Structure 1
Amino acid sequence: MGKLFLVPTPIGNLNDMTLRAIKVLGEVDLILAEDTRTSGKLLKHFDIGTPLQSHHMHNEHRQLDGLIQKLKGDFQMALISDAGTPAISDPGFLLTRACVEHDIDVECLPGATAFVPALVNSGLPNDRFVFEGFLPLKKGRQTRLQELSGETRTMIFYESPHKLIKTLTQFVEYFGEDRPISISRELTKLYEETLRGTSAQLLEHFSQNPPKGEFVLVVGGKK
């Protein structure tokens, strides 16, 4: 039987690539990549010549059976996303579940993921937390926020710059204007920044300073 490796890649700083990740990516027969153009630059930087195949949310269902058949043979495969750990708000769950169902070995390497440094750096309780990723864009969004309004654990969200103001506005509405929040942007990159305050304070800040980059929002739970 073959084996599937889930390999985290840097979320910004290339120095966060582990030696083990470089070794695995150089030894497998095929690398599945969310965007081959983005991943191609990463592999070139580390002088990795393993063949790449596009594998993303729009084609992962179609590819599933074929990939499983390859893995049932003596085929070693790695899955990477554009940045961070596969299956964390990125493709990876479907293939991993199929491998488990077919008794194919799966190994996930430790490595970069955006929400961990954002959580630890937030100053908010991190002994118990819930990762929510991206909120629904439309359907179910208000219902989800209503459900989370009573959550007592620290909550973690991902958000894009063009949705940040809307999300903070809704946090004020559903969680209250005094809810403590830590917002990290461009983690590990040149313009990395973490801002802390209440939901109302951070909404005012980003209303006056247009959001740029990718954001991790860490929200204190209800007291």
Structure 2
Amino acid sequence: MSSTIPHVVMYLTRSLFEAGIPATSITTAQIILNASLVAYSSAGVLELTHAPPPAPIFAACLGSGIEWCSWFAALAKGNDKMTVLYGPSFVKVRIGAGPLTDVWAEDAQGSVVRISRGRQTRSPARRFSPVARTIISLPTLHTFNDAASSESSDESDAESDTSSSATVYSLSSPVDSPKALLCPLPSVPAPKRRVAAARPIVTGPRAPAAKRNPTPAAKPQVPTAYLYRGGVTRVMTGGVMLGPHA
């Protein structure tokens, strides 16, 4: 009932705004009416006529200063009688001789959206759609290490200086999520340095060496003596030397 009474109070007082009742008086009436309905021992039935109303509504009229005749006229819309029924999770009203209508129901709240945990069925338009989506699942690649192939590959690696791992791939049945493959990459030998061919050294023509005339060997100088009157004359390399008398 605690969740129902605020809806009863709202229904009984919302028509007062249209009747031009001051907002302060309406707020006071709502507070008193809410507290009075909580303590009201009736069986959730309010019979309203032009006569004095039930105790909760009458206490709200006295506390807020709103006359009951004006309040009832705003509620009944020209009818002489109306009945308000309320209980756990529902509020219903009957005005005059009209049908019983729902004012509020907990199951009929528009803000509550129920989510079903069951499997949802496709709509016919979507089921028979001319364009169908094709789901392609990728196969999983598994790696198997072969001992024999590993040994042979090791021997060939020693000869060719290249290493590679023997890996055999097999296709299995498609699964939802493909697994990542870790395949070692073959090592590439470092390129050998090439020695550039030596370029031939081309020298230009040499100038002929200057011919040197042979130097005649020096002849020993032999003094030559000439006799003349009065003395002896010695000649050295074409010179004339005078010596003492012999």
Q: Pick the TM interval, shorter chain.
A: under 0.3
Q: TM-score, normalised by structure 1?
A: 0.16
Q: TM-score, normalised by structure 2?
A: 0.15
Whose RCO is larger (CA < 8 A, sep 6+)?
1
Which structure: larger Rg? Answer: 2
